[in-house]
Amino acid sequence: MPRVLDLGKRSGKLSGVTMIVGDGLCSNIYVVGRGKATVIDAGVGNSVNPVWPQLESIGVQPDNVDKVVLTHAHHDHAMGVYLILERANPKVYVHTKDTEYIASSLGDSLVEVEEGDVIETELWPLEVIWTPGHTEGGISLYAREQRILFSGDTVFPDGYYGRTDGESGSLEQLLESLRRLTELSVNVILAGHGMPVLRGAEENIRQAYRDASRWN
């Protein structure tokens, strides 16, 4: 079963944030807050990554799930939302350009977001940064004051970056997304896969941009 990590024990900036580590071909799931929890990405939702046992282990019951934000609509990040919707009634936030892959099955739960929107959480506001490249509707979420970036599959630890060979991927768009992220002040990266980057986060982004630029 997936590991559940209290990130507040690793960094005071992340007090109230829990990481459910994706097992196998599954994204990480981040839970921001408890009473009115915001779930960032929902994993693949298979038997190995069942979502609810992990949420309940940290005290998040169906009535506590306020929002689900999908950094993009790939199945390893998105399909777990249907397990959540079986028992809870959160709003589900997806960038407009990725909704075509998932909108019809979310119904009234869907909230479309775009660049510059702000998603309020129990802890702090998250700014929506449109970071296409891995998918056309990929987003990152930025807690500006805390300098925390939820980067989805745009940038990973150690300067790795998302693949662009999927249906709506684009290296040109990814490069521009990475360039824009280099302009942010970032201490912490919480990526769609891999462990948290708790120091040197900005250098990780710059390295990803440099490495991706070599293919352009």
1 has pLDDT over 90: no
pLDDT tens profile 103-162: 778 999 999 999 999 999 999 999 999 999 999 999 999 999 999 999 999 999 999 999
Q: Give the alpha-carbon dihedral of 68, 72, 77, 83, to 10 degrees.
A: 40
CA atoms of 77 and 151, how far apart (whole Å): 12
pLDDT tens profile 57-96: 999 999 999 999 999 999 999 999 999 999 999 999 999 9
Strand order in the sheet with 37-40: 4-6, 17-20, 29-32, 37-40, 65-69, 91-95, 110-113
pLDDT tens profile 8-65: 999 999 999 999 999 999 999 999 999 999 999 999 999 999 999 999 999 999 999 9
Kindly state which CATH superfamily the domain 4-213 is placed in.
Ribonuclease Z/Hydroxyacylglutathione hydrolase-like (3.60.15.10)
Report angle CA 69, 73, 76 to the nearest 5 degrees: 95
CA atoms of 112 and 92, how far apart (whole Å): 8
179 has pLDDT over 90: yes
For residue 182, name the pLDDT band (cuts at 50, 70, 90).
very high
CA-nearest of 117, 25, 31, 30 to 74 is 25
Q: What is the 3-state secondary structure (H, E, C) of the chain?
A: CCCEEEHHHCCHHHCCEEEECCCCCCCCEEEECCCCEEEECCCCCCCCCCCHHHHHHCCCCHHHEEEEECCCCCHHHHCHHHHHHHHCCCEEEEEHHHHHHCHHHCHHHEEEECCCCEECCCCCCEEEEECCCCCCCCEEEEECCCCEEEEECCECHHHCECCCCCCCCCHHHHHHHHHHHHCCCCCEEEECCCCCECCCHHHHHHHHHHHHHCCC
216 has pLDDT over 90: no
185 has pLDDT over 80: yes
CA atoms of 195 and 188, how far apart (whole Å): 11
99 has pLDDT over 90: yes
pLDDT at 34: 97
For range 180-185, the mean pLDDT:
98
